[in-house]
Each structure stands twice: as structure tokens, then as C-alpha cells.
Structure 1
Amino acid sequence: MDTTTRSGAFRPVLLLTGAYAALSVLTLVVIILFRNDPAMVTDAVWVRATLVVASSLLTFAFARSAARGSRKGLLRLRIVAAVMLVAIVVIVALPGLFPLWLRIEQAGCGLLLLAVTVLVNGRRPRAR
């Protein structure tokens, strides 16, 4: 299978990981804009958002690598997506640790990563 076909097959994964990265960056922008509101932006929010932006950009980079046919890229994508999904589930489930708005945003990220995890662990990516 050539690179173009492989990239086409990975288009949904690229779109989902791109949306995850965009949502994460947008969230960091919101945090910067509301940095003087202690009810909305806590130290934990800063740390979490920074980590999520970094992981989302890595996730997108791994998806691009996997789309080009890299087995290591696919393995990294599987690991990072699954680990971040578990971390997000914990964050959304724990009451009081983060403001409600961030937990809702993280739930959105979690849904995107759930779809990525299902797609990259299905039969088709392994066959390629």
C-alpha cells in the first residue's frame, strides 16, 4: 500500500488527533485569557492544560507518522492515546480537583481519544 492510500485510511485518525490538539491549544488560550480569575484558573488547571497540549501535539505527530506507515509511530500513538484516555477518565470522574468547565473540556478530549483508540487498535491498522 502506498503512502497516499495509507494516509487516506488514516484520515479519520488524523482529523481526530488534530481536533484534540486544536481543542487543547484553544483551552490553553482560554486559560491565558482568564488567568486572573482564581475560580476558573487554578495552579492545577495550568499544569493539566500544559501537559495536555504537549501530549496532544505528540499524539498528532505520532498519528502523522503512523499514517506514513511507521510501525513505531502507530505503537506510540496507541500508547499515548490509551494513557491519556485513562488520565482523562480519572480527571473527569474526580470531583473537586478541577473546575467543571475543564472537566467538560476534558470529557470532549476523552471522546476524541476514545475514537482514536478504537480506530488504531482495530483490525485494519494492525493488518497494515
Structure 2
Amino acid sequence: MVLGWLLFLVMALPSGTTGTKSCMFCELTDSLNCPGILMSCGDDEECFTGQGTAPGLGSITNKGCVRSSSCGREEPVTYQGVTYSLISTCCYGQLCNRALDPADSRMAETPTGLALSVLLLRWL
């Protein structure tokens, strides 16, 4: 019985807890729709969403993996001949940069929390 619960718990944990973190990757775009594709990050990298602005123009966005030391930094990037000021905002968790709204990324951890709660209640 306990072995079954342990197996269930391991299967319910996000795969990021096993070492490799997955994030969404999306090239620089001026579109609000940036669904991205799955990519794996290195050990010293975090998922990020980059938001860029240029005076008098709309914003640009991109997603992917970035070194932890670059989190929160503002850097110039060129998109379609215009230099934008891009800020990389990091998040910490498996596929955490897939959500459009940062509050949505917290929902990704709900199944794991629910599994842990059920397991704890079962032992009480």
C-alpha cells in the first residue's frame, strides 16, 4: 500500500523535480499570442518571459531559458530594425513561463499539492 502511494506521488510530482527544467520558447514577436514550443534548460538557467518596449511603439515579447544572473536585467534587443529595451522576468518552476498571467502559473502546482494533501490525509 505504501509503495503504491510512493509511486503515485513520484508520478504526480512535476518532472522539473528530477533535474531538468522545461520551459516554453518563443522568438521575439510583437503578437500577443506567443504559445511557444517546449525546450529544456541548463542547470544554471531559469524560465523567463521577456517584455520589450520602444518609445512610440507597441511592445514585444519572447520566452525561453536564461542564465539566473540575467533575471530582471534590462537589455537592448533589435526587432525589425528597432531597438527595444527588453526586461527578462524569471519564474521558478516547470513550464512556469507558459501562462499569460503570472497568477495562472501558480495553478500548475495544484495537482501536486492535491496529491500531497490526499496522501497526508490518508496517513492520519
TM-score with structure 2 length normalisation? Answer: 0.35
The structure in which a higher percent of residues are helix is 1
The structure in which a higher percent of residues are strand is 2
